[in-house]
Chains A and B, each alone.
Chain A
Amino acid sequence: MLETRGLTKYFKGLRAISNFDLNVGHGEIVGIIGPNGAGKTTIFNLITGFLKPTSGDIIFEGKDITNQKPHVIAERGIVRTFQLDRIFHDFTVLQNLVAASHLFAKIGFWEATFSTSRYRRKDANARAHAMEILNFLELDDRKDEIAQNLSHGHQKMLGIAIAMATNPKLLLLDEPLAGMNPAEVVKALDIIDKIRSRGTSILLIEHNMQAVMSICDWIVVLNFGVEIARGTCEECQCNQEVIKAYLGAGGYAA
């Protein structure tokens, strides 16, 4: 459903990602791994329109979405989470989800201002939709808490919930497990799997290898903006290039 061809991005001559090809199928969970600075988040920024590629194409469901604006790409069905806890901090958990249900709600300026019956129905639908997502991600018991008072783990889940509120076809998760304790990791993986069974495909950036191995259908390994391996987790694990990238080249390690 998502295809990138020769995706390349230079920052003032510095290569961030080069000639990156990817093909994500329906219902797949694909992992992108690599050391810090390998260009993983850059790929997310390119796919979701936060950055414009230097060259290359991005095709989603047969349509070219290269150089589209982020909100247009979200409308098409690709939604991302952010590495840091990007949530609406001053809102309650429920308000976060209500605000993120914008695409679902489709409420216009005038009907909202004059509070027409159609608006009230749409508003109620949006709230019901928000509650449904909260139930699904097991955040419903925190719905009235102010988002910035949540624990780190819950804030991360809220970040995913915000993305899920848009009903994405493809979900891009940027280090969803970072900073979580082992129990939270287990729960989060369970939820990611549940999201997949809803029919949402997932592109995952994660440093927790055990988690990546357990959940991804296949992975791509990057180093300094270049793909060095691709395939199932087992294949990549034994790849010499990958071992070199993570542990350093020969010499000391051997």
Chain B
Amino acid sequence: MRLGKNLGFALLIILIFVVPIFIKNQYYLHVLILCAINIILASSLRAITTTGQISLGHAGFMSIGAYTSAILAMKLGLSTYAALVLGGVAAMVVAAIIAYPVTRVRTVYFAMLTLFLGEVIRLVMTEGRAITAGTSGLMNIPHLDNISFLGLFSINFATKLPNLYFILVLMLITLLFLYSIDRSYIGITFKAVSQDDSLAASTGINVARFKAMIFYTGCFFAGLAGSFYAHYMSVLTPDSFGLFYSIYILIYVIVGGQGRFSGAIIGALILTLIPEIFRVLKEYQPYIFVVVLYLVVFLLPGGLVDLPGLIRRKLQRGRA
């Protein structure tokens, strides 16, 4: 059973890396890149929610990463890879600083504070014209630097395929890291905190510290995703990461199922693909999301990850 599962995972990963070679349509590659970015965002937000906190400013941290990385690469001429990591670090540092007040309040207030924070970040990017170029946005952000292997061949990130592979690797590292936390002792502590924080405190768990810890860890990965986005798109405006995006990320998590690690991945994947498949309905995207959200919340409170179990139970009942 265990072996079968591992084998299945190995096959899945091979599949993920082989399939793109055969995709010739540039637009499809772009959609897959967006999927990977959204999976990183949804999974890192889901990690934050395991302590019972709901952040409505996740896209704001993505924005911090994106702008930091872009500006470091453009104005200081830093290597794009160093800039990429520093973008994540910047998001983490901002999260760590504001973690002290915001992790000491209850869920609803945490959501409100992060919501405002996301908006404040957007306003700072809009108003800081000298550095961020305001609403007109940053243009010509350098693509990721070429990688050359011993002078034999080199990878140029001007096209979509190398970017897709890069973000896939980044996504797998992120998922591996977050999954390791989730199923470890620390992951159990996070879930204990979310169930009853007074009881957790009474057993000696420093509730605020644990909440802060996963908050800035999650924001680090959001920043990382943002950094990649900046170098991939080459263009950055403050409105790329508005409140709507933060809410979408949360909807990915809820629709996929917050209770399980795979939930955020499935939610992000499906809800990124649906609007692309029904592209004629692009302007109705918010409505589609609302309908999907309602259906899931009422019919499948545990999210889409619960669907197989539900079908199995229905079948068994049918047989009995």
Binding site for B on A (CB under 8 A): 48, 50, 69-71, 74-75, 79-80, 82, 86-91, 95, 98-100, 102-103, 105, 107, 109, 112-115, 119, 122-123, 126, 162-163, 165-166
Contact = CB atoms under 8 A, between A and B. Distances in A.
B199 A82 contact: yes
A192 B200 CA distance: 22
Contact of A113 (B180, B195, B206): B180
Contacts of B198: 50, 70, 82, 86
The number of chain B residues touching the other chain, given as a range, is 20 to 34
Contacts of B180: 112-115
B213 interface: yes
A252 B206 CA distance: 52
B184 A102 contact: no
A166 B186 CA distance: 16
A95 B198 CA distance: 17
A91 B192 contact: yes
Centre residue among A86, A109, A122 by max chain B CB count within 10 A: A109
A94 to B, nearest CB: 11
B171 interface: no
B247 to A, nearest CB: 26
Contacts of B213: 109
Contact of A79 (B177, B200, B202): B202
A74 B203 contact: yes
Given A71-B204, A71-B207, A109 B199 contact: no
B189 interface: yes
Contacts of B184: 107, 112-113, 115, 119, 123
* Interface SS of chain A: helix
Contacts of B181: 109, 112-113
Contacts of A99: 188-189, 191-192, 200, 203, 205
Contacts of B203: 74, 79, 99-100, 102-103, 162-163, 165-166
A71 B199 contact: no
Given A70-B202, A88-B199, A165-B203, 8 more contacts: A48-B202, A50-B202, A99-B188, A100-B192, A109-B181, A109-B213, A112-B180, A112-B181
Given A86-B199, A107-B186, A113-B180, A91 B191 contact: yes
A102 B177 CA distance: 21
A193 B191 CA distance: 32
- Give 8 closest A-B pairs by Cβ, nearest first: A74-B204, A99-B192, A112-B184, A103-B204, A70-B201, A112-B186, A100-B203, A107-B185
